[in-house]
Amino acid sequence: MRTYVVSVLLLLFPLMVAHAGEAEVITVEVMKLGDSTYQFDVTVSHSDEGWNHYVNKWDVVGSDGTVYGTRTLYHPHVDEQPFTRSLPGVKIPKGITRVTVRAHDSVHEYGGKVVTIVLPR
């Protein structure tokens, strides 16, 4: 009987860990602050469960994979979903016309919905 219970728990463990799902970017607003410098206001959704499974950052990424900016999130947002955070001072080289914003959580890492946005001139 003990072996059966352990086997069932081992089979269910991935489902229990993945309960909160992947972090998803819901909306992105971008404002040009100066020459090649932008501010990003990003709304993210995730069923944060506490310190063991929460959104811990989002990135502004170019089409070639270059990360232009990262907003680190230092705590879970269990009771604040979805939530919006800003990242000013993101420098993006001239000639780049669009970027993608992706979210990262502490269990699944990247993989949820992303948003690609055209930069204002």
Look up the domain containing 96 and give its range: 20-118
Q: What are the tens digits of pLDDT across the range 64-81?
A: 999 999 999 887 766 677
For residue 12, being part of any structural domain is answered with no
Say what the pLDDT of residue 8 is: 36
Say what the pLDDT of residue 48 is: 60
Q: Is the dihedral of CA 64, 88, 49, 23 positive or negative?
A: negative
82: left (phi over 0), alpha (psi -120 to 50) or beta: beta
The domain tally of the chain equals 1
Q: Which helix (H) or strand (E) holds 4?
A: helix 2-17
| Alpha-carbon radius of gyration of the chain | 18
Q: Among 16-20, 33-37, 114-118, name the one with the lowest average pLDDT.
A: 16-20
d(CA 18, CA 15): 5
The answer to whether the predicted template modeling score (pTM) of the entire model surpasses 0.85 is no
- CATH code, domain with 48: 2.60.40.730
Say what the pLDDT of residue 46 is: 80
